[in-house]
């Protein structure tokens, strides 16, 4: 009878899998993870032939390894969105997030297992907060009330009968909007790059039911597109421009309680809702994220659309100095936005460009334009009340630079 304890080969494989996940040489770790997953893929597809005994060991090792990577990737990503102040997780998160978005690995592998939160997770917290805003922005349409325990699509809810709403401005057929699903000659390729329109989600594959994409974060109490142009993900970009707050002598100003330097960012006051926000907007079809970040900042925070050619050329020089420097990708993914519906939602890439000496931004005059009613430098702290979940992005930036955020001397896992 075969012994129940693992063989030397199995033990060696298990030890190798465990040690590899926690290797601090993250770049080498990521390359090995991708190669090993490709090996599993070849094994499962029958592309590679091995003796039966070797296949048994490899299959066990590949399965354990895949489940571990998937579970940890989803867990850390979810914790980062909900509790970005959990500092101990930040060094672990980045390589797994990169691996999850790697085009070398089948994307659905990273979205096949339920999320298991860490100690920071509040089981009563709902990923949809502002996405349940009612009435829907710019209308009198009321959303169906969605209890926290019925947000997820896996929970059956036969009585769920949300109202349908798509704004007249969207139905008018502007260039930035899709036709209705029932329109002739409209056959969107969801979960794919559809011509110049990006219909892939940063969160992975989403379901399509009755021809309509389904919000990956759950029920919102409204179907249709609301104010959003695209069925499925509507991709945006949010440039976070920061500098240190300084006194008249040019010295950094520290907070009297936390003792940390105070960081500032450029904020706009939105015309549509009156809330303060990061200047940003939608990615045009075929446009690179880097171009969207620069365009949206210049339009909303510098009023570039109203400038003369000479003014635009000078502005462009200063903008290039700022946007061509090293930057920090703060967040990629789903946004808890009041415009979201069951069939259309906002996803964004928030990027921080930091003007360390403050000289570049001193040469750029802030002036509200386009969708912005006002624009100004704002001190960063936990007291900020910002649009959607922009506050979470700003918090991550403050932590990145070791700047003041709150007056609590002991950092912890709080929102």
Over residues 132-143, the mean pLDDT reads: 96
- The helix (H) or strand (E) run that includes residue 242 is strand 232-244
- Per-residue model confidence as pLDDT tens digits over 306-360: 889 999 888 898 889 889 989 999 999 999 999 999 999 999 999 999 999 988 8
CA-wise closest residue to 246 among 361, 330, 353: 361
Instruction: Place 2 in a pLDDT band, splitting at 50, 70 and 90.
Output: very low
Instruction: Place 139 in a pLDDT band, splitting at 50, 70 and 90.
Output: very high
E-state strands within 263-341: 263-270, 276-277, 281-282, 328-334
CA contacts within 13 A on the Cβ side of 36: 24
Is residue 351 within 8 A of residue 327, CB to CB? The reply is: yes
Q: What is the pTM of this model?
A: 0.68
Instruction: Place 247 in a pLDDT band, splitting at 50, 70 and 90.
Output: very high
Lowest mean pLDDT among 100-109, 154-163, 358-367: 100-109
Tally of CB atoms within 10 A around 45: 8
Lowest mean pLDDT among 43-52, 55-64, 91-100, 113-122: 113-122
> Which range has the top average pLDDT, 59-73, 110-124, 172-186, 397-411?
172-186
Q: Of residues 368 and 80, which shows the higher confidence score? A: 368
Residue 333, beta-bridge partner list: 348
Instruction: Place 388 in a pLDDT band, splitting at 50, 70 and 90.
Output: confident
- Per-residue model confidence as pLDDT tens digits over 147-195: 999 999 999 999 999 999 999 999 999 999 999 999 999 999 999 999 9
């Amino acid at each position: 009878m075969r012994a129940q304890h693992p063989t030397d080969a199995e033990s060696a494989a298990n030890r190798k899998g465990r040690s590899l996940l926690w290797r601090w040489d993250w770049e080498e770790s990521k390359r090995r993870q991708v190669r090993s997953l490709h090996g599993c893929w070849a094994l499962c597809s029958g592309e590679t032939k091995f003796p039966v005994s070797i296949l048994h060991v490899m299959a066990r090792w590949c399965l354990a390894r895949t489940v571990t990577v998937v579970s940890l990737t989803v867990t850390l990503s979810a914790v980062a969105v909900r509790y970005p102040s959990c500092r101990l997780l930040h060094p672990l998160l980045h390589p797994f997030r990169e691996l999850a978005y790697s085009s070398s690995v089948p994307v659905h592998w990273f979205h096949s297992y339920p999320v298991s939160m860490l100690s920071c997770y509040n089981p009563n917290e709902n990923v949809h907060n502002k996405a349940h805003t009612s009435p829907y922005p710019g209308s009198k349409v009321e959303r169906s009330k969605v209890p926290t325990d019925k947000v997820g699509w896996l929970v059956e809810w036969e009585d769920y009968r949300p109202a349908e709403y798509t704004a007249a401005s969207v139905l008018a057929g502007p260039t930035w909007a899709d036709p209705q699903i029932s329109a002739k000659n409209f056959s969107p390729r969801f979960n794919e790059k559809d011509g110049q329109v990006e219909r892939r989600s940063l969160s992975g594959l989403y379901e399509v039911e009755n021809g309509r994409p389904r919000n990956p974060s759950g029920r919102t109490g409204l179907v249709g597109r609301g104010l959003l142009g695209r069925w499925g993900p509507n991709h945006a970009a949010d440039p976070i421009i920061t500098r240190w707050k300084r006194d008249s002598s040019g010295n950094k100003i520290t907070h009297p309680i936390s003792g940390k330097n105070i960081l500032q960012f450029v904020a706009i006051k939105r015309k549509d809702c009156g809330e303060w926000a990061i200047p940003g907007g939608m990615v045009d079809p075929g446009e690179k994220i880097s171009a969207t970040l620069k365009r949206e900042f210049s339009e909303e925070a510098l009023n570039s659309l109203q400038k003369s050619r000479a003014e635009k050329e000078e502005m462009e020089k200063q903008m290039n100095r700022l946007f061509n420097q090293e930057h920090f990708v703060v967040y990629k993914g789903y946004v808890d936005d009041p415009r979201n519906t069951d069939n259309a939602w906002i996803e964004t890439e928030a990027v921080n460009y930091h003007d360390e000496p403050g000289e570049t931004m001193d040469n750029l005059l802030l002036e509200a334009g386009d969708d912005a009613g006002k624009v100004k430098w704002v001190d960063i702290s936990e007291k900020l009340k910002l649009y959607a979940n922009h506050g979470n992005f700003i918090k991550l930036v403050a932590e990145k630079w070791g700047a003041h955020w709150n007056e609590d001397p002991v950092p912890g896992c709080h929102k």
